[in-house]
C-alpha cells in the first residue's frame, strides 16, 4: 500500500475494523517514512448489478442514487445518516444475494418501503407518495390505512 502523502510503499497497519456484515474492512495505517497516518477501505469486487426500469430500460445499480432517494424521504426526521447507510447496506446486500445480475426497480422500491416502514412511518409515507405516484388525498388515505392496520 502506498502512503497517501509521500507515496512511499512502506506502511504498517495500526488498527483493523470490520463491520458486522464484513462487507468492508477499514484499516488505519502509518507511513514508515513520513510517519503520517491515513485510513484505507478494502471492499471485495462485486459483480455489476443491472436495474430494469418500468419502461424496460436497464441501468447500472447506483448505491448513491438509492441513498439519495432514502435521504429525501427522511429529511427533517429524527433519522441519522448512519441509520440511512445501514438501510442502504441491507438493501444492497439483499440485492447481491439474489441469483440474478438483474433486478427490477419495483423490487428495489418494495425493499425500500419495507425498511422505511420499520424505521419511520413519515419517511415511509413520503417515499410511498413518490414511488406509488400518489396524486390525491384518497391515495394517501389508502396508504395510511394500510400502515395503521399493520
Residues 90 and 124 in one domain: yes
Domain count of the chain? 2
Same domain, yes or no: 29 and 76: no
Residues 141 and 77 in one domain: yes
Q: Let me know whether 39 and 67 are in one domain.
A: no
Residues 71 and 36 in one domain: no
Q: Spell out the alpha helix ranges (H) of the chain.
A: 63-73, 81-96, 105-119, 121-131, 137-149
Question: Are both 27 and 96 inside the same structural domain?
Answer: no
Residue 115 predicted with pLDDT over 70: yes
Residues 143 and 71 both lie in one domain = yes
The predicted structure's pLDDT at residue 138: 86
Q: Are residues 105 and 38 in the same domain?
A: no
Q: What is the pLDDT of residues 53-109, one digit of tens each?
A: 999 999 999 999 999 999 999 999 999 999 999 999 999 999 988 989 999 999 999
Contact 124, 106 (CB under 8 A): no
The position carrying cell 503520517 is: 36
- 70 falls within a domain: yes
Residues 6+ apart with CB under 8 A from 18: 24, 25, 26
**Distance of alpha carbon 36 from alpha carbon 130, whole angstroms:** 47
Could you list the residue range(s) of the whole structural domain that residue 115 is in? 61-149
The answer on pLDDT for 25 being more than 70 is yes
Amino acid at each position: 500500500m502506498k502512503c497517501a502523502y509521500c507515496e512511499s510503499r512502506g506502511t504498517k497497519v495500526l488498527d483493523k475494523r470490520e463491520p458486522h456484515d464484513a462487507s468492508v474492512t477499514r484499516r488505519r495505517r502509518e507511513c514508515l517514512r513520513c510517519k503520517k497516518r491515513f485510513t484505507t477501505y478494502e471492499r471485495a469486487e462485486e459483480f455489476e448489478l443491472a436495474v430494469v426500469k418500468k419502461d424496460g430500460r436497464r441501468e447500472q445499480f447506483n448505491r448513491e442514487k438509492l441513498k439519495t432517494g432514502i435521504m429525501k424521504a427522511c429529511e427533517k426526521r429524527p433519522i441519522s445518516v448512519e441509520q440511512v447507510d445501514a438501510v442502504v447496506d441491507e438493501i444492497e446486500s439483499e440485492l447481491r444475494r439474489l441469483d440474478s445480475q438483474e433486478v427490477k426497480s419495483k423490487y428495489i422500491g418494495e425493499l425500500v418501503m419495507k425498511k422505511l416502514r420499520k424505521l419511520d412511518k413519515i419517511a415511509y409515507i413520503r417515499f410511498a407518495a413518490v414511488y406509488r405516484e400518489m396524486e390525491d388525498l384518497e391515495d394517501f388515505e389508502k396508504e395510511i390505512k394500510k400502515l395503521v392496520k399493520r
